[in-house]
Amino acid sequence: MDEDNYPNGISIPIELFMGIPTLTVEVNNSKQKWFFDTGANICYVTEKPENWTTPVDTHDDFYPGFGNFQTEVYETQIQFHDTPKQVKCGVLPELLGLSLSLGGCTGILGINEFLDSSFYYSPRTGKIITDG
């Protein structure tokens, strides 16, 4: 598909680290690099921010090579490319969180954060285009 045929919307730049897409996310007024994971149902951070005090849920998940884990889930607002979004976010187990640091990342943006909108994921052109 050539660029003239891309959908209209907010263009979010992405980069690839070992084939895994990354993007810049702002959390608690801090810009961070996160992986974009089309297999993750929720977002994750490597360390729980101090202002996250009351979890809204728990979430069971699985990561290949690590196995099953459970995390408390918090609701928080993030922002990427000037687009605010309310998300559900868990805290990764420490060992799994350390693996993100290899790519310079501190979190994971899960696919569910795009399911309430239309989006076009184009790793070859280095962007995600979304209508919200």
- For residue 118, tell me if it sits in a domain: yes
Lowest mean pLDDT among 32-41, 42-51, 90-99, 113-122: 113-122
- For residue 52, tell me if it sits in a domain: no
Order the strands of the 119-122 sheet from edge to edge.
10-13, 127-130, 119-122
Which residue range is the domain that position 8 belongs to?
Answer: 3-45+61-130
Number of domains present in the structure of the chain: 1
Residue 124's pLDDT band, with cuts at 50, 70 and 90, is confident
Which pair of tokens denotes residue 111?
């696919």
Question: Of all residues in the chain, what percent are helix, strand and coil, respectively (each to 5)?
Answer: 10, 50, 35
Mean pLDDT across 97-120: 86
For residue 58, pLDDT beyond 80: yes
- For residue 51, tell me if it sits in a domain: no
CATH code, domain with 8 = 2.40.70.10
For residue 46, pLDDT beyond 90: yes
* 94, 106 Cβ separation under 8 angstroms: no
